[in-house]
């Protein structure tokens, strides 16, 4: 049994690797912040930020 953010587990649910035991969903009210240094980030940092934002559905 586990708790997980829908945006992080939806692919596993769709592929059958995880099973939703019941339909209850709760909104946490919590937020995540992605912080980077000022200025132009290095390409690898920019790629990671882009990937993370896409993955989180932002």
pLDDT tens-digit profile of 12-40?
A: 999 999 999 888 888 888 888 888 889 99
* Residue 25 lies inside a defined structural domain of this protein: no
* Residue 11 lies inside a defined structural domain of this protein: no
Any idea which residue has 């692919």 for tokens?
Answer: 11
Specify the number of domains making up the chain: 1
Parent domain of 51: 34-58
Find the mean pLDDT for residues 34-54.
90
* Residue 43 lies inside a defined structural domain of this protein: yes
Q: Which residue has the higher pLDDT, 10 or 7?
A: 10
Please report which confidence band the pLDDT of residue 58 belongs to, taking 50, 70 and 90 as the band edges.
low
* Residue 54 lies inside a defined structural domain of this protein: yes
* Residue 50 lies inside a defined structural domain of this protein: yes
Q: Coil, strand, or helix at residue 56? A: coil
* Residue 42 lies inside a defined structural domain of this protein: yes
Q: Where are the beta strands (DSSP E) in 1-58?
A: none
């Amino acid at each position: 049994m586990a708790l997980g953010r829908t945006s992080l587990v939806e692919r596993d649910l769709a592929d059958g690797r995880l099973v939703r035991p019941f339909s209850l969903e709760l909104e946490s009210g919590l937020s995540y912040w992605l912080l980077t240094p000022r200025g132009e980030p290095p390409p690898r940092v920019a790629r990671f930020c882009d990937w993370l934002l896409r993955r989180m559905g932002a």
